[in-house]
Structure 1
Amino acid sequence: MIEIKGLAKKFVVENVKKLSEQEKQDPRLKGRFFHSVEDVSFHCEQGQVLGLLGPNGAGKTTTLRMLSTAIKPTAGSVSINGVDILAEPLVARRKIGFLSGSTGLYGRLTGRENIEYFGRLHGVSEAELKQRINELADLLDMHSFLDRRSESFSTGMKQKTSIARAVIHQPEVVILDEPTTGLDIMATQTVLDFIRRLKTQGTPVIFSTHHLDEVDELCDKVTVIDKGRTCFDGSLLDFKGLSSGSMHESFLTTIKGAE
């Protein structure tokens, strides 16, 4: 289980005058600090998939980057199966598989070499690494391009390789930042099927998305963030119950209620 309580992150604004008018009107701008995340709390149990929703700029990516230990929170706590990952970030990185929306592959390495590199960083043995890559190539339909240089990959190939790289060490929690963005229908289905498999294995999965149909199809829980704060955290059934069952209406209702 992963549990997040009162997570917050503020950034120094070097020059307030250079901000756009929209940014200046954001209530999270307070003096020389922009509070990207002010108060975010949720949890995800074993075998659950949690959909993290929110408008652009709501603080979703900042939240996920804090969970991955890529950036340090200003306040709050994060624990995985009782371990305080903020106090022990090196331990945390062994427990978490994180797919960022911006982390690229090493273009001159093949898909296999990219995955192997990260597996070795996590201390995966050579024998286990070979077996694990073959399993992931089967699950993510990667055999046709696995040994090509990744600089020639399509968007779907890159995303599948990035996902394999994120889970090569068999993490206790998987965090995916918009994993299907830019993918075609077939590649999207492969990624969604992979998330389902993680769920059947009992692995908690947190993923952010703008595709509400994916949330409806996959998720047990929904957390909505707006302006850096949690404005809904509950079951998918409760979320759909905010409206007549429409995911879009429920989302809009949540955001309007937080204003």
Structure 2
Amino acid sequence: MIEVKNLCKSFIREIKDDSKKNKKGKLRTKKEEFLAVNNISFNAKEGEIIGILGPNGAGKTTLLRMLGGILTPTSGYIKIANHDYSEDKNAAKKEIGYLSGNTKLYNRLSPRELLSTFGTLYDMEKDEIEKSIEKIIEVMDMSSFIDNRIEHLSTGQMQRTSISRCLIHSPKLYIFDEPTSGLDVISSKSIIDFMKNERDNGKTVLYSTHYMEEAEILCDRIYMIYKGEFIAGGTCEELKNKYNSNSLREIFLNLASERGDINED
């Protein structure tokens, strides 16, 4: 379904130059290249949930944005459903339902109107869009608010609406960036149940989180990311056996501490 090889993304940032000061005695700045994602490789099959675990700033969002076709890699290879990104990115993106951590919705629309709009963007026929919306209403339990304006929805309802936008064209791959962040227990459960159901339907799910316990009950495989690199990968049981621990959190903290200071939040 998805194959990733030697993926890297570099950015330019400004840092203080300890060797130079301006006339007022303040340190000057200089530009420095850094790797936000460094040489990452992995694959995911149909009917599999892959968790990307790590603290904020670890490189999760940068990685998912490259996989979703939003950012162009500095180097490396991405192949989705037999479509090579370097050859036909548009074909690959049609197989993806991507939910970013800061997705914005059109407040004056209802969820039904929003879904209709996105269905049109995917070149779907009107009757095809209507059938897809009815299915989404059932799957995401949206019947009570499907025709309410988005500005009047609760946080959990808005998140379900955001996810429903990713379903309209029935993609083969879901890429979710922190889908349960800030949600209450009930709203989180509905989204977790949705991901499980889609896996059972043969879909592939990639999702990032810093909730270790959530990943433990949901993921078929887990990759831990820290400072732009995968520091561990495998099933929960494989990781626990390899590092002699019953806690994914403990495993991550121990591995991260070996690589420098930890900034987990």
Match of 2:229 in 1: 229
3-state SS in 2 of match to 1:159: helix
| Residue 31 (structure 1) shift | 4.8
What is the Cα deviation at residue 79 of structure 1? 0.6
1:51-84 deviation line (CA, Å, top 9, x unaligned)? 1011221100000000001110101111113321
Higher helix share: 1
Cα distance in 2 for partners of 1:104, 1:95 equals 21
The equivalences for 1:1-259 within 5 A come to: 1-13=1-13, 15-17=14-16, 31-241=31-241, 242-259=243-260
Task: Please give the TM-score of this superposition, normalised by the length of structure 1.
Answer: 0.90
Q: How many residues align?
A: 247
Give the gaps of 5 or more residues in structure 2.
18-29, 261-265
Which stretch of structure 1 is more off in the superposition, 87-96 or 192-201? 87-96
AA matched with 1:243? N
Identify which range, 59-68 or 101-110, moves more after superposition: 101-110
**Aligned counterpart, 2:23:** none
Name the SS of the counterpart of 2:196 in structure 1.
helix
The CA deviation at 1:254 is 2.9
- TM-score norm. by structure 2 comes to 0.88
CA distance in structure 2 between the aligned counterparts of 1:218 and 1:63, rounded to whole angstroms: 20
Deviant stretches of 4+, over 6 Å: none
1: CA distance between counterparts of 2:86 and 2:148? 37
Query: Deviation string for 1:134-190 (max 9, x for gaps)?
Result: 111112111111111112222111110010101211111111001111111111111
Aligned CA RMSD, in angstroms, stands at 1.7
Judge conservation of contact 1:110–1:147 (CA < 8 Å) in 2: yes
Contact preservation (8 Å) 1:109, 1:150? yes
1:25 is matched with which residue? none
Q: CA deviation at 1:258?
A: 4.1
**Structure 1 gaps, min length 5:** 19-29
Residue 96 of structure 1 deviates from its aligned partner by 0.7
Per-residue deviation, 1:130: 1.1
* 3-state secondary structure, aligned to 1:39: strand
